[in-house]
Structure 1
Amino acid sequence: MSVLTRRMVSVAIAASAWSGTASAQDWPQRPVTIVVPFTAGGTTDMFGRIFAQAMQEKYGKPFLVENRAGAGGTVGAAAVSKALNDGHTLLVGTASTHAIAPCVYKRTGYDADADFQPISLFATLPNLLVVSPKLPIKTFAEFVEHVKANSGKLSYGSSGVGASNHLPGEMIQNLTGAKMTHVPYRSSNDIMNALAGGHIDLAFDNMTLAWPQAQGGTVRAIAVTSKERSPTAPDVPAIAETFPSFDVATWHGLFAPAGTPRPIVDQIAADVKRIYDTAEVKKKLYDVGAVPTPNTPDVFTAFAKTERTKYERIVKEAGLSPQ
Structure 2
Amino acid sequence: MRRRDFIAAGAAALAAPWAGASPPGSDLPKGPVKILVGWAPGGGTDVFARIVGQKLSEVWGRPVVVENKPGATGSLAAEYFARTRFTEGINLLMAHVNTHAISPQIFRSITYDPLKDYAPIALIGATPHILVTSSRNSHGSVQEVVELCRKSPGKISFGSSGTGSVQHLAAEMFNMAAGVKSIHVPYKGSGPMQTDLIGGQIDFSFDTMTAATAQVRAGKMLGIAQTRVNRAKGFPAMPTMDEQGFKGFDASSWYGVVGPRDMSRELAQRINADINRVLAMPDVVSRFDGYGVEDGGGSVDKFAAFMAAEYKKWGDVVRAAKVTEES
Please list the CA deviations of residues 201-226 of structure 1 after superposition, one character each: whole Å capped at 9, or x if unmatched: 33212223322321221211011122
- The match for 2:277 is 274
Residue 275 of structure 1 deviates from its aligned partner by: 0.9
SS at match of 2:310: helix
| Amino acid aligned to 2:58 | E
In the aligned structure 2, how far is the partner of 1:315 from the partner of 1:56?
Answer: 39
Is 1:316 aligned to residue 316 of structure 2? no
In the aligned structure 1, how far is the partner of 2:78 from the partner of 2:133?
Answer: 30
Residue 273 of structure 1 deviates from its aligned partner by: 0.7
Q: 1:201 and 1:60, CA in 2 relative to 1: closer, same or farther beyond 3 A?
A: farther
Residue 266 of structure 1 deviates from its aligned partner by: 2.0
- The match for 1:226 is 228
Give the TM-score, by structure 1 length.
0.83
Alignment of 1:200-279 (within 5 A): 200-240=202-242, 241-279=244-282
Q: Which moved more, 1:96-105 or 1:190-199?
A: 190-199
In the aligned structure 1, how far is the partner of 2:209 from the partner of 2:287?
Answer: 13
- The match for 2:301 is 298
- The match for 1:283 is 286
Please list the CA deviations of residues 59-102 of structure 1 after superposition, one character each: whole Å capped at 9, or x if unmatched: 44432222323333212211111223455321111122111223
Contact conserved, 1:152 with 1:181, CA < 8 A, in 2?
no
RMSD: 2.4
SS at match of 2:166: coil
| Amino acid aligned to 1:255 | V
Please list the CA deviations of residues 285-315 of structure 1 after superposition, one character each: whole Å capped at 9, or x if unmatched: 1233221421221221111112212222222
Residue 38 of structure 1 deviates from its aligned partner by: 2.3
Contact conserved, 2:93 with 2:258, CA < 8 A, in 1?
yes
Is 1:165 aligned to residue 163 of structure 2? no
Residue 154 of structure 1 deviates from its aligned partner by: 4.0
In the aligned structure 1, how far is the partner of 2:290 from the partner of 2:162?
Answer: 26
SS at match of 2:181: coil
In the aligned structure 2, how far is the partner of 1:87 from the partner of 1:167?
Answer: 37
Q: 1:191 and 1:265, CA in 2 relative to 1: closer, same or farther beyond 3 A?
A: farther
- The match for 2:128 is 126
Residue 254 of structure 1 deviates from its aligned partner by: 0.4
Identity %: 32
Give the greater-gyration-radius structure (CA). Answer: 2
Residue 144 of structure 1 deviates from its aligned partner by: 1.8
- The match for 1:16 is none
- The match for 1:13 is none
Residue 277 of structure 1 deviates from its aligned partner by: 0.6
Contact conserved, 1:151 with 1:180, CA < 8 A, in 2?
no
The alignment covers a number of residue pairs equal to: 299
Residue ranges of structure 1 left out of the alignment (5+ in a row)? 1-23
Residue 28 of structure 1 deviates from its aligned partner by: 4.9
Contact conserved, 1:207 with 1:290, CA < 8 A, in 2?
no
Q: 1:141 and 1:87, CA in 2 relative to 1: closer, same or farther beyond 3 A?
A: farther
SS at match of 2:75: helix
Q: 1:170 and 1:68, CA in 2 relative to 1: closer, same or farther beyond 3 A?
A: farther
| Amino acid aligned to 1:247 | D
In the aligned structure 2, how far is the partner of 1:296 from the partner of 1:191?
Answer: 37
Contact conserved, 1:224 with 1:238, CA < 8 A, in 2?
yes
Please list the CA deviations of residues 3-50 of structure 1 after superposition, one character each: whole Å capped at 9, or x if unmatched: xxxxxxxxxxxxxxxxxxxxx745353332312222322221221110
In the aligned structure 2, how far is the partner of 1:268 from the partner of 1:190?
Answer: 37
Contact conserved, 1:131 with 1:202, CA < 8 A, in 2?
yes
Residue ranges of structure 2 left out of the alignment (5+ in a row)? 1-24
Residue 194 of structure 1 deviates from its aligned partner by: 4.5
Q: 1:319 and 1:185, CA in 2 relative to 1: closer, same or farther beyond 3 A?
A: same
